[in-house]
Amino acid sequence: MNYSYIIIEDQQEPLKQLQKELENYPEFISKGTAGSVDRGIALTLAQKPNIIFLDVELGAETGFEILKETARFFNEPPFVIVLSDHEKYARKAINYGVLFYLDKPINPVKLSLALHKFKKHFSELKSHISIKDKSAHWLIQYADILFIQSDGSYCHIIRLSGQKVTVTKPLKEIELLLSKTFLRVHKSYMINTAYIEKINTTHKIITLHFRTGLFEMTEKSKTRLDESFTIKDTVMEIPIGEIYLEKVKHALLTFKAL
């Protein structure tokens, strides 16, 4: 998965250093730079990046002015990684919900930690997959996906309701859009680990178990809603591919530790 970022920094040396370090992370895509508060506000609103690398001192103003001015334009504001050679701004950064505080000059190890922390928070924040089929643009909650099945150049997203959404994307591309709750278990299958009931590594089978509520519209439902709502238990078996067996075994150990 790719992530977008902008850099707001008025000094050329730290700007070039950060740009050079970020070249080591090809999944992070630059959407521009700015060297002042006004240009930083304009760039933030124009690009709506996933991350803002923000210098605190921008001439006579501070980078925090950018966060204050742009906050109202976002439902989910960008993550902010502050750049500074002054610790005196650390407390204020916390008040603005800054993700990470990077000292200048940039330490590559600390930058790696900052990007890792961003990825973790970003995956937790993102709760759905946005994807198109031939007729519509779908926003499907992760929790509503049971498994995904590959079918040549197509993929079938199987929802808890049993509905099948078919999209023209290979499984390897959809895998990049999903959260860590999903596990590739076969060349043709990716499952939502939240619905694993048991794993049989001998027979190479994963059993998924889920429950759905069924509401029957009858004369009775008009007066007794509780008697018209029933729970259906469903069990499905998904094959485990030989080359994915070790990964599944590792996942099993993780589940046992929880």
Task: Classify domain 128-257 at the CATH class level.
Answer: mainly beta
Taking the C-alpha atoms of residue 39 and residue 26, their distance in angstroms, rounded to an integer, is: 25
Taking the C-alpha atoms of residue 61 and residue 46, their distance in angstroms, rounded to an integer, is: 21
Strands of the sheet containing 196-200, edge to edge, are 196-200, 205-215, 229-239
User: Residue 146's closest CA among 164, 171, 125, 127?
Assistant: 164
**CATH 2.40.50.1020 residue window(s) in the chain:** 128-257
Global pTM reads 0.54
**CATH 3.40.50.2300 residue window(s) in the chain:** 3-125
Taking the C-alpha atoms of residue 209 and residue 130, their distance in angstroms, rounded to an integer, is: 25
Q: What single DSSP character describes residue 63?
A: T
Taking the C-alpha atoms of residue 91 and residue 87, their distance in angstroms, rounded to an integer, is: 8
pLDDT at 255: 55
Can you give the pLDDT of all 258 residues of the chain as single tens digits? 789 999 999 999 999 999 999 999 999 999 999 999 999 999 999 999 999 999 999 988 989 999 999 988 876 789 999 998 777 777 778 778 899 999 999 999 999 999 999 988 887 777 788 788 877 888 888 889 999 999 988 999 999 888 889 998 899 888 878 877 899 999 999 999 989 988 898 999 999 988 664 444 444 433 343 443 444 577 889 999 999 998 888 776 655 444
The crossing angle, in degrees rounded to 10, of helices 108-125 and 12-22 is 60
The CATH code that applies to domain 3-125 is 3.40.50.2300
Taking the C-alpha atoms of residue 83 and residue 15, their distance in angstroms, rounded to an integer, is: 10
pLDDT at 141: 87
Length of the chain: 258
